[in-house]
Structure 1
Amino acid sequence: MRWFWLLWLAVAVLCGCRRESGAGPAPAAGAREPAQAVLLLTRHLHDNDLAAFARDAVPPALHRQLEAAWRRGQTRWPLDELPFDERLPRLLGALAEPEAEARLQRVFDRQFAGETTALKAAATTLGLFGAQYVRQGSDFSAGERAHYLQFVQALSRWGASAPLADPVRARAAIPLLAAAARATGLRSEADFARTGMDGSLRRLSGFLRTLKQVLAGYGLALNDSLAALQAEVVESRGTQAKVRMRYTLGGSPVEAVVEVERIGDRWYLSDYLRHARQAVAAR
């Protein structure tokens, strides 16, 4: 199921890294208003600037700690926000192998070409698995859980109707993904550690740009979702606030309220801060 997992992984990374996103112009350096904490991260995702995303998601001191922890192999934040982030180095390595295009095309032709019913069932099953993971995950806040359940359901509906079994699309997508994976130079966990967080995220930005292109070919226009998302403050008390975000994923509406907080003169998503702090504290 590597091909199918790759498409789902792309969506999870791009619509997320804890998936707090927004639309409209972003502030030049950090978020000075509660809603901008959402809008700024979304702008970076829209622009495929993952290093900037990591920089503006946490205060500078915490960012430096995360960089050090990344090089130690202690965390892959923000990638380890995903339930199956450990697959990413293996997927990149497989795509970057010599003659990967021919091998993956043979796998697709043998297992998936024309298997519309089977892939529709797989999308439904993965949706159920994702929903169960969200419901049972002990590290999710109530806001995250409510958001991610909607997200998983929308993704499952898209996957059930997307032309994933189309061999013409696969023949176009596989060479693009293989070339993008080779361009990252990231083929193993050791490569990620040696390159560091900022360096790895910069390299991954090109790969994610290609993944967006591939997913658009399957009817999932992620940049459209990111550009159209609306964010508004619904509650603000001192250094704490709540922001409602609305967006559409694969034709399904999603609405969630996220908590943000001010540190110094900048605003950050509370769940992001919590997970980042947990990442550097882990041993």
Structure 2
Amino acid sequence: MSRTPNGKRVKGWILPMCGLLLLAACKREAVELQGSTSEPAAAVRELAQHLQRNDLVAFTRSAVPPGYHAQLETAWQQGHSRWPLTELPLEDKLVPLLAALSAPGSERQLTTSFDRQFARQERDLKDATRALGQFGVQYVRHEGDYTAEERDHYVQLIGALSEWAAQAPLADPGLAHAAIPRLAAAARQVGLDTEEALQQAGMASSLQRLTPMLVEIKATLDSYGLPLDRTFANLRTGLVEQQGDRASVRIHYPLGDREIDTVVSLERRDGRWYLSDYLRHAEQAIEALKPDPGEVPPIDPDSLPGADTPPG
């Protein structure tokens, strides 16, 4: 078939047109949400930026008012609280995970265990992740002490993570053999493999020491197709409503192959905006420092009237 001048012209404008369409699509993806420049919306993005930079200490400082920090540190050191770690999924598994990874010879033991139980078991792992996802969604919908906003957000999170896990190469021996030594080295660098170690280190020091682990967990998830830094970098926020010292902010961000779209409540304290759920959780931790009003303090016999008077 011979080429005609018209055919050349057609081919000549197809590629530029495709480029324009792709550019337009990218621009639509990057459009900010309405009210993105508001203070409440910016406060939420600030938290995501701290997580993207792996700065858990800065995240804590931005998440609650300055007057809470010393009380939360005390609650941590007294064993009443592990906030803000309690904002993480499966936070109660953190110390066992650090202990298992930092144990002597963990690389060989964990690699052997993986090869025996999970290597090349793609179907079983996919079925397990789907079942766990379904259970998690049902639990969040009907159980637990969650606000309506938390339930909506967590259901979307679990769905996205379950969908990712069902497609991720979790049974790939090569990826596991590469990740385990790096995670073990990070856990040993952290050096917080017991609750007592966390308690003695204190909140601020523990969060700072956990940074290498956060960095390596991110890198591992990225190798399995879940780039969390992309999630934090592409998080968008917009103001839904503001009435006095209360506001609602829409949050939109990618997680795996899904787009999470949820609304959170914020409160203004001393001129700054904070997530209401974070305030509630932090205040619950601080509340544990107060003595129980029904608890009777022990009586010192030497303090009783007449305690120094000899008998008879």
Normalised TM-score (structure 1)? 0.87
Q: Where does 1:179-198 land on structure 2 (aligned, <5 Å)?
A: 179-198=185-204
- Count of residue pairs the alignment pairs up: 254
Q: Where does 1:118-267 land on structure 2 (aligned, <5 Å)?
A: 118-267=124-273
Q: Which residue of 1 aligns with 2:16?
A: none
Runs of 5+ consecutive residues of structure 2 not aligned to the other structure: 1-31, 33-37, 290-312
Q: Which residue of 1 aligns with 2:100?
A: 94
Q: How big is the shift at 1:263?
A: 0.2
Runs of 5+ consecutive residues of structure 1 not aligned to the other structure: 1-23, 25-31
Which of the numbers 52, 76, 79 marks the counterpart of 1:46? 52
Is 1:109 the counterpart of 2:105? The answer is no
What's the C-alpha RMSD, in Å, of the aligned pairs?
1.6
Cα distance in 2 between the residues matched to 1:250 and 1:190: 36
Cα distance in 2 between the residues matched to 1:282 and 1:119: 40
Contact kept? 1:89, 1:189, Cα under 8 Å: yes
SS at match of 1:86: helix
List per-residue Cα deviations over 1:177-223 (Å, max 9, x = no partner). 00000000101000100011110111111111110000000000110
Cα distance in 1 between the residues matched to 2:122 and 2:210: 30
Higher relative contact order (CA 8 A, sep 6+): 1
Q: Which residue of 2 aligns with 1:15?
A: none
Is 1:60 the counterpart of 2:93? The answer is no
SS at match of 1:243: strand
Q: Which residue of 1 aligns with 2:278?
A: 272
SS at match of 1:80: helix
Q: How big is the shift at 1:83?
A: 5.6
List per-residue Cα deviations over 1:146-195 (Å, max 9, x = no partner). 11111100000000000000000001000010000000010100010001
Is 1:75 the counterpart of 2:76? The answer is no
SS at match of 1:106: helix
Q: How big is the shift at 1:133?
A: 2.6
Q: How big is the shift at 1:121?
A: 1.0
Contact kept? 1:181, 1:207, Cα under 8 Å: yes
Contact kept? 1:119, 1:160, Cα under 8 Å: yes
Contact kept? 1:37, 1:260, Cα under 8 Å: no
Larger Rg: 2
Cα distance in 1 between the residues matched to 2:274 and 2:51: 16
Cα distance in 1 between the residues matched to 2:88 and 2:239: 26
Cα distance in 2 between the residues matched to 1:161 and 1:226: 22
Cα distance in 2 between the residues matched to 1:166 and 1:247: 28
Cα distance in 1 between the residues matched to 2:257 and 2:55: 25
Question: Percent identity at matched positions?
Answer: 52
List per-residue Cα deviations over 1:221-260 (Å, max 9, x = no partner). 1101110111011101111111001011001111000011
